[in-house]
Amino acid sequence: MARKERYLVGLDVGTSKITAIVGEAGDEGTLDIIGIGMADSKGIRRGVVVNLEAAVESIKKAIDEAELTAGVEIDTVHLALSGAHVKAFNSRGVVAVAGKTREITREDVRRALEAAKAVALPSGREILHVLPQDFVVDEQDGIGAPLGMTGSRLEVNVHVVTGSASSTQNVVACVNRAGIAVAETVLEQLAASESVLTQDEKELGVALVDIGGGTTDFAIFERGSLWHTGVVAVGGDHFTNDIAVGLRTPIPDAEKIKRRCGCALSSMVDEDETMEVASVGGRKPRVMARRILSEILQPRAEEIFHLLWDEIRRAGFEKSLNSGIVLTGGGAMLEGVAEIAEQIFDLPIRRGAPSGIGGLSDHVASPAFATAVGVVMYAHRNQAGELPRPVGAGAFGRVAGRLRGLFKEFL
């Protein structure tokens, strides 16, 4: 296993902003946030590098700021990978238990996982994660920890996450050009789930929905495991564009108005509330009803959530979301998004911000930091020898701890 690092750095290269978070691992297994660096994202769109030089500069800026606030030098980061080019699917590995006594050993589990990984991938794609969901021993399913059990046939169900090899390499190359090594890459939904979801939510069934700048990424957890990941090609920036067009105001002003006065559910806005809107071409600012703004935003919010609902239904998980939906990402900060989502899904909805950390936790307690903080938490758990996903937690809680260590060796 890798040497334990005292300082763990998470880097989230988003479409809107680049965030570097420095965490300090304490001796008692604690994690404190000690540094935060942020820069506007230039040259990267939906996880794909479109301008290398600009991207490198933005990354450098975020890293420099994080170094300054933390007072430590950063040479390695754990990198969140955008969900936009990610395709994930469920797979299964089956092996015969090898030993004479038919007792399942680590080697059997390793072979089952290898078998589950052995799928033909389209060219240009690579495996990012192989996440075990549960095991089947002979006919008995839903087993979290099969080690030491007796049987003749061992099956493992896994979620295989794949990404575009070149997109990943290009982002890693930008980080390297900024003088920083990448220790590992983590799917952004998986990272965000570390910082904003509770164990109970993951057990009972929940959808994590990250409304970013360019896209809305989601992941569905049930029985402690990741079952489905997907992307809806509409994000927070679409709201801004709608405002710019609808109110005829420049994009930067539209962004400001959205953050200051925006509301995604028009019935929440009083009819006589007003706001000031900058005009294009040097004309004087105008005063307008705030209701008009929310009438521009509401259809976009409805579009995102209807598309999301279609995706969830198509994947067959509409009955699995017993803990409802957790909204995160910068777009989740828009007033009224949780309320409109509640109307559309008829499920419990909450906003998710990072929790369970110390240090500068107040400064990162915003949905916009879910991914960057999540990467640090993921790396911290990984370093503690735990695979950052519970193997059938709850019923299998105690054995799971041992098993997580085991998976860490394999994957």
Ligand X SMILES: Nc1ncnc2c1ncn2[C@@H]1O[C@H](COP(=O)(O)OP(=O)(O)OP(=O)(O)O)[C@@H](O)[C@H]1O
Tell me which residues touch ligand X (CB under 6 A).
Answer: 14-17, 41, 46, 82, 212-215, 235-237, 240, 255, 258-259, 262, 329-331, 333-334, 368
> What is the Cα–Cα distance from 247 to 259, expressed in whole angstroms?
15
State how beta strands 286-289 and 274-277 pair.
antiparallel
First to last CA, the chain: 12
* Residue 212 binds Mg ion (CB under 5 A): yes
Q: Which residues pair with 87 in a beta bridge?
A: 162
Whose Cβ is closer to ligand X: residue 143's or residue 231's? 231
Query: How many residues of this chain interact with Mg ion, rule: CB under 5 A?
Result: 3
Least CB distance to ligand X at residue 20 (A): 13
Minimum separation from the CB atom of position 13 to ligand X (A): 8
Q: Which is nearer to ligand X, 187 or 387 (CB)?
A: 187
Residue 235 near Mg ion by CB under 5 A: no
Closest by alpha carbon to 144, among 405, 404, 383, 411? Answer: 404
* Structure token pair of residue 205: 């069934």
Specify the residue, 14 or 23, whose C-beta has the smaller distance to Mg ion: 14
Q: Which partner in ligand X, Mg ion, none is near 214 (CB below 5 to 8 A by kind)?
A: ligand X
Nearest to Mg ion of 266, 371 (CB atom): 371
User: Is 37 or 93 the residue whose CB approaches Mg ion more closely?
Assistant: 37
Cβ proximity to ligand X: between 133 and 371 the closer is 371
Write down the least CB distance from residue 177 to ligand X, Å. 20
Q: How far is the CB of 173 from ligand X (least distance, A)?
A: 18
Among residues 214 and 390, whose Cβ is nearest to ligand X? 214
Contacted by 146, from ligand X, Mg ion, none: CB < 5 to 8 Å by type:
none
- Least separation in angstroms between CB 156 and ligand X: 31
Closest approach of Cβ 188 to Mg ion, in Å?
Answer: 6
In angstroms, the Cα distances linking 384 to 203, 371, 397, 404 are 22, 20, 16, 10
Are the C-beta atoms of residues 225 and 389 closer than 8 Å to each other?
yes
d(CA 158, CA 300): 35
CB of 127 to ligand X, least distance (A): 22
Q: Interaction with Mg ion in 371-400: which residues (CB under 5 A)?
A: 371
368 binds, among Mg ion, ligand X, none (CB under 5 to 8 A by kind): ligand X
CA distance 42 to 38: 12
Comparison of 205 and 212: residue with beta carbon closer to ligand X: 212
Displacement of CA 185 from its chain's centroid (Å): 12
In whole angstroms, what is the distance from residue 61 CA to residue 52 CA? 14
Choose among ligand X, Mg ion, none what residue 41 binds, the Cβ cut-off being 5 to 8 Å by kind.
Answer: ligand X
State the minimum distance, in angstroms, from the CB of residue 210 to Mg ion: 6
Distance CA 50, CA 52 (A): 6
Identify the H or E element spanning 133: strand 125-137
* Minimal distance, residue 330 CB to Mg ion, in Å: 7
Name the one range near Mg ion by CB under 5 A: 11-19, 219-227, 300-308, 313-321.
Answer: 11-19
Task: Choose the one of Mg ion, ligand X, none that binds residue 81, judging by a C-beta under 5 to 8 angstroms depending on kind.
Answer: none
- DSSP labels for 41-83? --SEETTEES-HHHHHHHHHHHHHHHHHHHTS---EEEEEE-S
Contacts of 11 (CB under 8 A, 6+ apart): 18, 19, 20, 59, 62, 63, 77, 78, 79, 80, 175, 180, 372, 375
Task: Give which of ligand X, Mg ion, none residue 259 binds (C-beta under 5 to 8 Å, depending on kind).
Answer: ligand X
Would strands 31-40 and 17-25 be described as parallel, antiparallel, or unpaired? Answer: antiparallel
Residues 6+ apart with CB under 8 A from 319: none
Nearer to ligand X, 143 or 190 (CB): 190
Q: Which of 8, 10, 13, 14 binds Mg ion (CB under 5 A)?
A: 14
Contacts with Mg ion, residue ranges (CB under 5 A): 14, 212, 371
